[in-house]
Amino acid sequence: MQLVNLKLLIWLIFNKNGAKITGHSSPVIVIEGVKKLHGANHTVIGDRIEAGTYMIAAAMTKGEVIIKNSCLAHLGVVIDKIKRSRGQC
């Protein structure tokens, strides 16, 4: 899994708001002036570290936890480790 880098995230957010920025994957970034930016919606993903911590705590205590609004693909390593340990934390 590859995480989005900060330069790409800034490019994405500004372009969603009406900016004209190109070259995010090259050494040269080109910014074309616009008269005005506009609003846009952006969804922030759940914190995988926090979700993973709760999952491990539940496994260690043989308890249960419900994780909401988190991307399962981002928790694959934690889930795999918990399965491999068979809850033997």
Pick the range with the lowest mean pLDDT from 8-12, 13-17, 74-78, 81-85.
8-12
Q: Which residues of 21-44 are buried (b: 16+ CB within 10 A; e: fewer)?
A: eeebeeeeeeeeeeeeeeeeeeee
Instruction: Indicate if the pLDDT at residue 82 is higher than 50.
Output: yes
What is the pTM assigned to this prediction? 0.53
Query: For the chain, what are the domain ranges?
Result: 1-42, 48-85
User: Residue 88 has what pLDDT?
Assistant: 58
User: Residue 11 has what pLDDT?
Assistant: 82
Q: Tell me what percent of the residues of the chain surpass a pLDDT of 90.
A: 42
User: Residue 55 has what pLDDT?
Assistant: 93
